[in-house]
Amino acid sequence: MRKKKRKAIRYKTVTFKLSAKQMKSLKNYCRVRKTTPTKLIKKSIRNYTEHFASEVPEKYQATHNQLDLFKKDQEPPSMFD
């Protein structure tokens, strides 16, 4: 009996820039913690990359009132009303 072939995992590339000071800090932190920058970043964003794949829970979605907060045609709220 033959084993089923596993489906290949597709990866996507994400790039971003860090300042020289930020990169030095990241490398120093990783050296002390005996890890790599890639592992550190993946661990840091794991909560967002695993739990929101299919649907974002309602508590994380912006409400209509939040979207209207910075409209320019409205007067700012007054503290003395």
* C-alpha–C-alpha distance, residues 40 and 50, integer Å: 16
What are the start-end ranges of the H helices in the chain?
A: 20-33, 37-51, 64-67
Q: pLDDT tens digits, residue range 16-73?
A: 999 999 999 999 999 999 999 999 999 999 988 887 777 877 777 776 665 555 666 6
- Structure tokens belonging to residue 37: 């920058």
Q: What is the pLDDT of residue 20?
A: 97
pTM for the full predicted model: 0.59
Q: Evaluate whether 26 touches 37 at the Cβ level (below 8 Å).
A: yes
Q: What is the pLDDT of residue 65?
A: 62
Which tops the pLDDT comparison, 19 or 81?
A: 19
Q: How far apart are CA 12 and CA 48, in angstroms?
A: 16
Closest CA to 24 of 37, 11, 12: 37
